[in-house]
Structures are given as C-alpha cells and as structure tokens.
Chain A
Amino acid sequence: MTVAGMNGAGPGPIGRGASVTLSDLEKTYDRTSAAAKAVDGVSLDIRSGEFLTLLGPSGSGKTTTLMMIAGFETPTAGDIAIDGKSVVAMPPYRRNIGMVFQNYALFPHLTVEENVGFPLKQRGVPKAERAKLVAEALELVHLPGYGARYPRQLSGGQQQRVAVARAVVFKPRLLLMDEPLGALDKQLRENLQLEMRRLHADLGITFIYVTHDQEEALTMSDRIAVMNDGKVAQVGSPEDLYDRPDNRFVAGFIGESNFLPAVVRGLEDDVVVAECEGTLIRALCPGRPASGERVTLTTRPERLRFADGTWAGTEPPQNRMSVTVTEAVFAGERCRYMLRAGDGTSIVLKEPSSAAIRRRAVGERAEIAWSVADTILV
C-alpha cells in the first residue's frame, strides 16, 4: 500500500514540531494500593515532527498518558518535558498544545467559526487576523464556508474536522489526539486516516495519537508505542512491530499470530533451533536462550503456505510441519484454515483466494511451510 510507504517518508521540516520526553512516568489513582497503577514507568522519546501512536487495549494507560502530556492529569511520579523543558507544573492552558478529543468537544453554543477562533481569542489575536487564520484552518480541513453553522448542524465527520481545525489554528508545535475517529463509520474513518497523514505531512508538527485500533495505528504512524497494563510493551515502526514483535502481547495484539510451544535445541548464529510438534523449527531470536528452555514461537497466519503450493520463484521455506485441516472458511479475498498439529496445537493459515488454488477439505492431511524470517521467538 502507498500509505505504508508514506510511513517511511519521514517527518516534515525539522524544528516545526516539538519533541516530547516522558521519563519514568507514573500515575496512580488510588494511593492506598500500589497495584492500581494506571501508568507504570513509561519512558518515551518522541521526536520532533514524528507521528507517534499510543496503541493498546482499554485500560492500558494510553489515554492517561496522553492526558498527562496535555496537563489534565498530574503524574504521580516521573517527568514530562516538551522541547527539553519540564511541563509537569504547568497548567494545560499554558502548554500551547493542540488537542482533539474523542467526542470532539466542540462548544455547542458557538458557531464553527467561533469554535475554531476560540484558541486565538484566548491568545488575544485581533479580530481581523483571527478571521483570516480561522478561514485558513477551515480550508486546511476542507470545510470552507461552514463557519456560520453550529456544531449540531454538522455530521460526525465534519465535526471531527472542525475539532482538528480548532486544534491546529493557533499553530501549536504538538497535536494530541484521543481516538478522534472512534465514533465514525469505517468508510469515513479510512478517509480521515489518510487525511490525518496528509495534515501531518503539511503541518510538519509532532502528532501523538491514541487509539485501540491496530489497523489505524499501522496505517498512520511513523512509530507506535504498544501499551499494556500501564507499561510500554514495545516501541517501533509499524513494520518492526508486525514483523518482529518483542513479546507475546505485541504479537497477539497487532495482527493475528500463531503461538507454537517449543523447546530450544540449539543456536545457529542469530537463529534459534527449537523442537515443536516433533519437528525442528528455526526462528529469529533477539536473546540467546539456553538449550532445553521452553519457549513460544510466533508466526503470522498469512505467512504460512501449504507446502505443495508454488513459491513464486523464491526458495522454498525451511520451516515445515504436518497438520490436519479442522476448519476451512472462504472469506472472499482469502481462505482461512484452522489446522491442528500433531499434539493438538491449533494453527491458523490464511491463503489469498484464487480460483486456481485447490481448496482444502476438512479432515485432509497436509504439510505447511514458512520461512525462518517470519518466525519469531517471543
């Protein structure tokens, strides 16, 4: 996809965006129990002009982290620095950060124009200049001519655009977004995702985006910080997280993964050889596990193939396993098979559908194969 390519296109002009440093950030709501940490030791370096997404399930601490950056929540411990200066003691209205809320939080008693002009008014921008900047901002989000309407007269997507215009009209160097597309339907969401990317490229400022939607995160971000239980599980580019998950949580949360229990039998350079279902499987491994250690190997369903298929000019993959088909589902663009390995581990395999490929029947025995590069020890 072209969008995936855009992820690597890099940030806009250097210096227009703020850099944000979170150091050992902690937030505890209930002081009496140390276990209830909403955010538990989050450290992140967000670069100037970067589009960083905080991704995680609900309750993972992503929104709390965002609210602390915005200044609506006070950290229990740790520090937040914007452009190297600590902002922990600064009230939100002094931080000069743009923010788009989940429900847009447009002022219902003000017109679109007054909503977008609100931050300018607080900053004492004279009326004439305010009108000019508001018009520019509405132009930016493709809503010129909507200035005189009230928020309730706009559709959800339009309200969202107004909220974005209002958040960027005063040219902040940092824009925070809290699941801004959560309430919209799928089609609109996909359009707006692309628009957010465009906006990010146009403005060149730093975006910190919170979502629980992994697809959204993969589509839009330069980097993603996956959060779980108040901690950062992994930070990396979308490709990094998808192809080389650090741990089982990330492998399971981003995309679909097969988890194969295995026992380490040896090491070959940076490849670990592990025994799984009676066969030897090779996997990439960041650490150096000891022989005999019980580990979990992970691999993506769409990277598996039936071994009697074609390999399209590439070398046949090294990892192989005998399985029985237990379920076969035709889902349009792909076929999805549930397979069972020798001792009962279930494996999912996704095959692009083609009239030319023979579909497997339930109960059929087959051999599957996949490459070492697609196998990760987590």
Chain B
Amino acid sequence: MSEVVQPASLALAVSRPKTAPFDWRRAVPLLLAAPLLVYMLVFYALPVAAMLLRSVNDPSWTLANYAILFEDVVFQKTFWITINTSVTVTLGCLILGYPVAMGLVRAKSMAPFILVIILLPFWTSVLVRSYAWMVLLGRHGLVNEALIALGMIERPIRILNTPLATQIAMIHILLPYMILPIANALRQIDPSLIRAASGLGATPFMTFRQVILPLSMSGMAAGTLLTFVLALGFYITPAMVGGPRDITLSMLIAQQVDQLNWAYAATLSAVLLATALAILAMARKLPGVGNAFKTSMR
C-alpha cells in the first residue's frame, strides 16, 4: 500500500470524521429549555392557535369574519381608538421618561432611590393602580379638589371616564417600560464621548442633540416598542377609568367573549396580534432599532 496520502483527502478526513458521534454538548441548551418549551407549547401556543383558528373555521372554513371587519364601523372606531391611545401613551412615556432616565443615569448616590421610585408601580397590581387613579381623577378626587383650591376651575371637571383619564393612567403604568431601556442605553454611552464633545466645542445642548440623543436611539426604540405593544393590548385600565364609549380592541374582545361570540372575538384577537407583530417587524427595519434587538440579545 502506498503511504502517500492526498493532501485534500487528508484535510477532509481531519475536518469531517466519517462517524461523527452525536455531540451532546450542543444539545445541552435545548435540553435545559425543554421543560419550559413543552409547558409553553401545551398551555400557551396550542390554546392560542386553537383560538385563532376559530376566526377562520367557525362554523366552517371561511374568511368571512375578516371580510366583515372591513365594513364593521364599531371595529373600525375601536381599532382607531386603540391605535390613537397607544400612540399618545407611548409619546407621553417618551417625553416624560427620557429626562427621568437621564436623571437616573447621572444621579450618583440618589440613583438607587430613584430606581425604587420608578419600580414601585411594578410591585403593585394594575388593578390597584387603576382603582387609585379612579380615586384621584373622580369628581371629588384629589385632582379636582386641588384645581378648585388653586382657583383654576370653579366646579369639578370630568376627567374620570374620558380618554384623558385612560391616557394618564396608562402613561403612569407603562413609564418603567420606557425609562429602563433608555437608562440602559444612556448608561452604555462612554462618558469620555461627552467630554470629547464638550472639549471640541459643543455646548451641552449641542452635545445632547448630536451625541447623547443618537447614541440612546436604540434604548428609545426598545422602550417605544415595548410601551406601544403593551399599550395595544391594555384592558383593565381603559375599562376602569376610560370613557363608556371609548372602547379599545381588548375591551371589544372581552365583550364578544362574554356574549359567546367566539368567532368574532378570535378574529379581533388575530387582528390585534397581527398589528403588534407588524409593528415589531417594521421597527426592526428602522436604522438603529435593529441594533437594539441585537444588543438585547447579547
């Protein structure tokens, strides 16, 4: 036998052994996640799929449920209110949350204290907080009393059960979801960049506009997405403090379920889910936001 081995076949032999044993190490992450995956599949994915199926096969295979939506005035109004509320709430969170995130990052000894204040609402249930807002915003609530005491109004104004009440309460509840990603992005900005900008002639405002704001874009995008998608599906708060005629999609779904109108509820749910997914998909394409996904993955 010749002892000369062809270099190419040698390289192949080295890089790809013929009887590659199953590499257990590669399966470890999957195995570790398996219990949760099974749980999610059985108790979450399957029910959701079954629910969504109802929108197209109840009572028989049809797309009629979706066709109806295009002419359904109630749906259209509800959809519009939902989007409108979510956009307003998200903008409100962004405007109110950004300065707080900056304060949180810049504060030194006060930082843990500020963080506790931001997270405090997290530890209280949405229901309790919504009740609290009912008390505050009611006809004889703290807000009306204060406005009267200050002489700004003469008689109590109607705040509770208006879209404004929904927006105020939702902004409060969703603020942490906006503040924390922004604070995270701000914290990752190298402080020497701020110094460099200042040393190179940028006033504090110019530094904010040209350095801090663009570098925190990923955090703003993450916070905006999180807030917006959460706001889309909000139910308890708008139901409790919102106006009787200002129905959001989730309220409409609940209403339909109550009336055992399963196919319609399923169709609405599919639309809500699709809207959220579409927004996530679009956001990924935005410059700077795609990075936010990657960074949060790391």
Contact = CB atoms under 8 A, between A and B. Distances in A.
- A71, A93, A96, A166 interface centre (most CB from chain B within 10 Å): A93
B200 interface: yes
A155 B249 CA distance: 53
A105 B193 contact: yes
B188 to A, nearest CB: 10
Interface stretch (B35-43, B98-106, B141-149, B201-209): B201-209
A267 to B, nearest CB: 52
Contacts of A109: 214-215
- B193, B195, B200 interface centre (most CB from chain A within 10 Å): B200
B201 A107 contact: no
Nearest to B214: A109
Contact of A105 (B190, B204, B210, B215): B190
A72 B211 contact: no
A119 interface: yes
A197 B134 CA distance: 72
A55 B203 CA distance: 31
Contacts of B200: 93, 98-99, 118-119, 122, 166-167, 170
A158 B98 CA distance: 35
B196 A105 contact: yes
A175 B203 CA distance: 19
A107 B200 CA distance: 12
Interface in A166-209: 166-167, 170
Nearest to A176: B199
A93 B210 CA distance: 14
A145 interface: no
Interface residues of B, number: 18
Given A93-B202, A103-B192, A118 B197 contact: yes
A121 B211 CA distance: 13
B196 A108 contact: no
A123 interface: yes
Contacts of B203: 93, 122
A107 B211 contact: yes
B84 interface: no
A92 B193 contact: no
Contacts, number: 64
B198 interface: yes
Contacts of A146: none
Interface in A75-94: 91-93
B196 A122 contact: no
B193 to A, nearest CB: 5
- A103, A122, A166 interface centre (most CB from chain B within 10 Å): A122
A72 B197 contact: no
B190 A122 contact: no
A93 B203 CA distance: 6
B198 A93 contact: yes
B201 A101 contact: no
Nearest to B203: A93
B215 A72 contact: no
- A96, A106, A109 interface centre (most CB from chain B within 10 Å): A109
A301 to B, nearest CB: 39
B201 A105 contact: no
A108 B215 contact: yes
B215 A118 contact: no
Nearest to A97: B199
B199 A71 contact: yes
A70 interface: yes
Given A108-B215, A109-B214, A101 B202 contact: no
A103 B190 CA distance: 10
Contacts of B202: 93, 118, 122
Contacts of A97: 199
A99 B199 contact: yes
Given A71-B199, A122-B206, A123-B201, 16 more contacts: A71-B198, A92-B198, A93-B203, A93-B206, A97-B199, A99-B196, A99-B200, A102-B192, A103-B190, A105-B192, A105-B196, A107-B193, A107-B196, A109-B215, A122-B200, A170-B200
Q: Which 9 pairs across A and B sit closest by C-beta, in order of nearness? A: A105-B196, A122-B201, A119-B200, A105-B192, A99-B199, A92-B198, A122-B202, A109-B214, A93-B198
Interface of B: 190, 192-193, 195-204, 206, 210-211, 214-215
